[in-house]
Amino acid sequence: MNLEKIEEKCLHYLREASNPLVPVDTLLEFCRRDPECGKLDRKELLDFLRPHAQIEVMEGPAMGEAIDRQTFESAGINMGQRAIIKTRFPSKEEMTEMLFEQLKDMTDVLVEALDAAKKEKDDARINQLQTALAKSEALRQKMNKLL
């Protein structure tokens, strides 16, 4: 494993990404595109990233927190491990804005899918989408209470 190459790839991607919080799996896929890093696995990448002086690994919410990982995942938002260059770390306000933006984007997609299901008169899909929208709204309300 070529640590210098992994570092070069990770720092480049993390500096250039439009969203400073990059899913670890996305970073892993990017690194694997290089033949020198093609056999890199998730554990090796995390073992490299965690102690790195310029990079922070965000573990995501844990079970039992006010809004835990399961709540986000049930609303369709993957809150798994993410990496960020420490100099790009967003403020609490910026982080909150990003989470609300992701929730809004997901809700917009669900509403479009619900409209399509209604046009097709697909009752099963309508019920699933209405449930997902209700979970999305419950998550938004929980997030608002934390502010």
Domain ranges across the chain: 3-89, 96-146
3-state helix, strand, coil in the chain (%, to 5): 65, 5, 30
Confidence (pLDDT) at 23:
92
Of all residues in the chain, what percent carry a pLDDT higher than 90? Answer: 53
pLDDT > 80? residue 7 = yes
The encoded tokens of residue 87 equal 């100099």
What gap in Å lies between CA 36 and CA 84, rounded to an integer?
Answer: 23
Confidence (pLDDT) at 144:
84
* Fold exhibited by the domain 3-89: Arc Repressor Mutant, subunit A (1.10.10)
The encoded tokens of residue 33 equal 């595109």
Residue (of 118, 139, 140) closest to 129 by Cα position: 118
pLDDT tens-digit profile of 85-112?
999 887 888 878 888 888 898 899 999 9
pLDDT > 80? residue 120 = yes
Residues 6+ apart with CB under 8 A from 16: none
What gap in Å lies between CA 113 and CA 130, rounded to an integer?
Answer: 10
